[in-house]
Amino acid sequence: MYRLVGNVLTALCATFLFATIPVAAVLVTAVLVTAMSTPGLAAEKSAIVDTTFVADAAKRGAIVWDVRSRADYVRGHIPGAVNIDFVGSVLRDPNSEDYIATDKIETLLGGAGIDPAKEIIVYGNKGDPFVYFGLVTVQHFSGKNAAVYHGGIDDWKAAGRPLATEATTLPPVALKLTVDPSVTVSTRDVLKHVNNANVQILDVRTAKEYGGEDIRAIRGGHIPNAVNIPYEQNWVDADTPAKLARKAVSNKDGMSLKSKDQLKALYAKLDPTKETVVYCQSGVRASETAIVLRDLGFKNVKVYDSSWLGYGNTLDAPAEKVTYFNVGLLNGRLAGMQARIEQLEKELAQSKAAK
Same domain, 251 and 201: yes
Rounded distance between C-alpha atoms, residue 205 and residue 230, angstroms:
5
Q: Is residue 237 part of a domain?
A: yes
Q: Is residue 126 part of a domain?
A: yes
Same domain, 202 and 314: yes
Q: Is residue 69 part of a domain?
A: yes
Q: Is residue 172 part of a domain?
A: no
| Phi–psi pair at 92, nearest 5 degrees | -125, 145
Rounded distance between C-alpha atoms, residue 262 and residue 119, angstroms:
29
Q: Is residue 117 part of a domain?
A: yes
- Residue pair 315/239 in contact (Cβ under 8 Å)? The answer is no
Query: What is the Cα Rg of the chain in Å?
Result: 25
Same domain, 114 and 189: no
Same domain, 299 and 332: no
Same domain, 202 and 250: yes
| Phi–psi pair at 55, nearest 5 degrees | -60, -45
Q: What's the pTM value of the predicted model, to 2 decimals? A: 0.83
Same domain, 132 and 240: no
Query: Which whole-number Å values give the CA distances from 233 to 212, 218, 292, 297, in the listed order?
Result: 20, 27, 11, 18
Q: DSSP readout, 146-197?
A: EEEETTHHHHHHHTT---B-SPP-PPP--------TTTEE-HHHHHHHTT-T
CATH number for the domain spanning 146: value is 3.40.250.10
Same domain, 15 and 53: no
Q: Is residue 308 part of a domain?
A: yes
Domain enclosing residue 348, as ranges: 325-355
pLDDT in tens, the chain (355 residues): 333 334 433 343 333 333 333 433 333 333 333 333 333 333 468 999 999 999 999 999 999 999 999 999 999 999 999 999 999 999 999 999 999 999 999 999 999 999 999 999 999 999 999 999 999 999 999 999 999 999 999 999 999 999 999 999 999 999 999 999 999 999 999 999 999 999 999 999 999 999 999 999 999 999 999 999 999 999 999 999 999 999 999 999 999 999 999 999 999 999 999 999 999 999 999 999 999 999 999 999 999 999 999 999 999 999 999 999 876 666 777 888 888 898 888 888 888 888 7
Same domain, 25 and 75: no
Same domain, 209 and 292: yes
Same domain, 314 and 331: no
C-alpha torsion sign, points 264, 203, 298, 306: negative
Same domain, 16 and 102: no
Q: Is residue 150 part of a domain?
A: yes
For the stretch 22-57, pLDDT in tens is: 433 333 333 333 333 333 333 468 999 999 999 999
The residues pairing with 276 across neighbouring beta strands, listed in sequence order, are 200, 301
- Residue pair 257/249 in contact (Cβ under 8 Å)? The answer is no
Q: Is residue 176 part of a domain?
A: no
Question: What pLDDT shows up at residue 350?
Answer: 82
User: Total domain count for the chain?
Assistant: 4
Same domain, 94 and 204: no
For the stretch 259-306, pLDDT in tens is: 999 999 999 999 999 999 999 999 999 999 999 999 999 999 999 999
